[in-house]
Homo-oligomer: A and B are copies of this chain.
Amino acid sequence: MPRTTVDTRAEIRAAALELFSERGVDATSLREIAERIGITKAALYYHYASKDALLGDLVDPMFVELRELGDELEGRSIDAGDEAQVRAVIERFWELCLRNRAVMRVLIHNPRVVARIELAPRMLHWRERIDGVLVGSDDAADRVRAVVALGGVQDAVVVFGDADLPRIREAAVDAAVRALRM
């Protein structure tokens, strides 16, 4: 029988994201995803040609947001020495991570899958763009500062993100800003 909702593809993505995020990509079968929204695995294949195609569609919105953020920041030409501007950038990054934390979890916890569907270059690319805005240098020591700061923010979002409290955001952004200081 036909289903009541219009957008089955969106329902599939929502169910898949939840399961991929909770259990990991490899540990989630297409049967489980299909059953969660009340269709069969074969019906899912009508909407998505493969598991990887579904995953690719799933993570896309976050990359769109990252590209937009990169465009905007580069357009405004941030001064890496101005701490107020740096703080504003980290805050934007925190918000982006928080909004997309399920996708972030999937990407962080499934690096091999990321490599398989060729998301690694995209991840590297946005990371380099934001690093460039924040430290403006290719020097190893500078890139380490950026990794500690942004990596720390990502970790804090994954660990504390479910309680989206202003205090937590403030503490995480503060710590990242200090980590970036030379």
Contacts of A34 in B (CB 8 A): none
Which one, B26, B141, B170, contacts A24 given CB within 8 A?
B26
Minimum Cβ distance to chain B for residue A125 (Å): 15
Please choose the segment from A61-69, A71-79, A109-117 that sits at the chain B interface, where 4 or more of its residues have CB less than 8 A away: A109-117
Total interface residues on A, CB under 8 Å, equals 41
Q: Is A165 an interface residue (CB 8 A)?
A: yes
User: Once bound together, how far apart are the Cα atoms of A75 and B140, in whole Å?
Assistant: 36
Number of copies: 2
Q: Is A101 an interface residue (CB 8 A)?
A: no
Which one, B22, B111, B145, B156, contacts A144 given CB within 8 A?
B156
The residues in A between 32 and 89 inclusive whose CB is less than 8 angstroms from any CB of B are none
Binding site for B on A (CB under 8 A): 22-24, 26-27, 108-112, 140-145, 147-149, 151-156, 159-160, 163, 165, 167-168, 170-172, 174-176, 178-181
Given contacts A26-B27, A151-B156, 14 further A-B contacts (CB under 8 A): A23-B112, A109-B111, A140-B163, A140-B171, A141-B168, A141-B170, A141-B171, A144-B156, A144-B168, A144-B172, A144-B175, A147-B155, A148-B155, A148-B172
